[in-house]
Amino acid sequence: MVKLIAQTACAGLLPKTIGSVTVTEVDAGQVTLIAPHKGQQKAVSAALKTSVGVGFPAPNRSVGTGPRTVWCGKEQALLIGAPCPSLAGAACVDHSDAWAIVQIDGADTVAVLARLTPIDLRANVFKRGHTARTLIGHMTGGITRLGAQSFEVMVMRSMAETLVHDLTQAAENIAARAQNAG
């Protein structure tokens, strides 16, 4: 008989420190996709704020740091880190095991991500709390700025190994370039 063992998406792959960059897996806890019904976004946002402490985010934004909401598409957001309250005006779908979520921190984080995504991640353009659905390498995913040199990267769970590989390759290239320049 096969014995199944629950594992995180990046089990055995992370953490890694390469040059000035550290990549770690994020334990997001419960993740719920929330899609308000037509005309219900304000009511859903108010219900979220009352129940969880964060409202529904504006497009390309995230709200909160503990329990938080992250925009993930037109009129859709992910509630991360808290159970989803009963929301009469929205469709809610459990995505807790659907995502591989990593945090990348360090002085060369923007340079590493610039090798994988077409969006402008400079701090004066992509500020703390900004989020985007974008290409990450050849995968579709999300990038959220958490701080000056800190980002969260999300891809579907089946792409976890590819994400870690691509981030590792980009970080090694940036680190080698810095070492050769110095």
pLDDT, tens only, 68-98: 999 999 999 999 999 999 999 999 999 999 9
Record the pTM.
0.93
Angle at 145 between CA 121 and CA 14, to 5 degrees: 105
Under a CB-based contact definition with an 8 Å cutoff, are residues 174 and 112 in contact?
Answer: yes
pLDDT value for 18: 98
Task: Name the pLDDT band for 100 (thresholds 50, 70, 90).
Answer: very high
What mean pLDDT do residues 1-7 have?
Answer: 87
What mean pLDDT do residues 131-147 have?
Answer: 97
Beta bridge partners of 71: 77
List, in order, residues 6 or more apart from 129 with CB less than 8 Å away: 61, 62, 63, 144, 145
**One-letter identity of residue 21:** V
Under a CB-based contact definition with an 8 Å cutoff, are residues 77 and 24 in contact?
Answer: no
Q: Which two tokens stand for residue 48?
A: 């979220």
Task: Report whether pLDDT(180) > 90.
Answer: no
